[in-house]
Amino acid sequence: MRGNNMNQLYTDRLARVCSRLREQGLTQMIVSDPLSIGYLTGVWIEPYERLFAFYIRTDGKHIFFLNNLFVIPDIDVTKVWMSDTDDCIGIVASHVDAGSDMGIDKSWPARFLLDLMERNPGVRYVNSSACVDQVRSIKDEYEKEKMRESSRINDACMEKAAAFVKEGMTEKECADYIRSLYKEEGCEEGFETIISFGANAADPHHEPDDTVLKAGDCIVIDMGCRKDGYCSDMTRTFFCKKEDPEYAPIHDLVRSANEKAESLIRPGVRFCDLDKAARDLITEAGYGEYFNHRLGHSIGMQDHEPGDVSLANTAVVEEGMTFSIEPGVYLPGKFGVRVEDLILVTQDGCEVLNKVDKHWKNIG
């Protein structure tokens, strides 16, 4: 990455984005999302309120717009430096092509975009986030291994967390322990860990509190870490000391829905059909109204990335995509269960990145 030339990895990613720009009939785009800029160049900056943008041209004459306070590696891209007192948008406007349509990503603040629109009023501005998002959704070999590594760590931490949980413990204590495990592994939480005991599990996004674990409670652990910039995400549901005879069959149902959807994953399958397969199984058992969220979400450098596994998404699965499969049933005031894996799409099927057993078991 460092040196006079950009690493071939980033060159290839930029070429893929430029190809999609051409498909949109565009020759230029401003990328402002720091994660996307890092993905395309290896330059990682948190700009806060300052202007930070990567100007992409399909002819390869890319430009970095940078504040003097930023420190970046010496890469082979034209750099335009600005101070806090400069007319930053005026400088940008003078460097871009004022005679061609301009792609803009969804992250650029209106205070910058509106000013640029006034400076170059003859330009048509187009939301071209998909040109970057779609490229990011197809993981290259480097990213695939990073996703596997993050999930391997998450698996190990889930096993340790399940062994740690005991009757009388609070949700917060369990969440704190998981955070300590991630720290030991040299990574961080990818999102706030969800720990739900008993009736709290009926809220899919319950935040850990001082609820104390009791024998017979269900235990939902939804956890994920970020390692070397890539996220993991997994959910397992257990019972404390003894399973509830009413709820254990529901756990089996949800696990079966998870496995049903995973068995169908291969390039060319529609995301909506994956959701429908899992949802139909749960609905036929009489719990359809209690499966109240989409089946999954895309994941990579962020725990939730553009693209999902839902009835509304008619796009097709492609090799290299990574997303979650996480059906659930949530009975208000009583019980909740979710079983979640991450999936990496292969040439003729999929690789389930999580290896922790999905069957219910008693812990605590």
* Tens-digit pLDDT profile for residues 208-235: 999 999 999 999 999 999 999 999 999 9
Contact 30, 54 (CB under 8 A): yes
Contacts for 111 with CB less than 8 Å, ≥ 6 apart: none
What's the CA gap between 193 and 49, in Å, rounded?
Answer: 29
Report CA-CA distances (Å) from 38 to 9, 53, 73, 189: 12, 11, 12, 20
Concatenated DSSP letters of 213-224: P-TT-EEEEEE-
Contact 339, 220 (CB under 8 A): no
Closest CA to 149 of 236, 234, 231: 231
Q: Given a cut of 80, is residue 337 above it in pLDDT? A: yes
Buried b (16+ CB within 10 A) or exposed e, 52-63: bbbbbbbeeebb
**Share above pLDDT 70 across residues of the chain, in percent, rounded to a whole number:** 98
Average pLDDT over residues 243-266: 97
Report CA-CA distances (Å) from 118 to 93, 121, 122, 124: 10, 5, 9, 12
pLDDT of residue 5: 40
Closest CA to 260 of 152, 339, 360, 345: 339
Concatenated DSSP letters of 304-360: SEEEEESTT--PBP-TT-EEEE--EEEETTTEEEE-BEEEEE-SSSEEE---S--S-
Q: Is the full-model pTM beyond 0.85? A: yes
Q: CB 189: neighbour CB atoms within 10 A?
A: 17
* Tens-digit pLDDT profile for residues 179-213: 999 999 999 999 999 999 999 999 999 999 999 99
Closest CA to 230 of 359, 339, 52, 353: 353
Contact 166, 240 (CB under 8 A): no
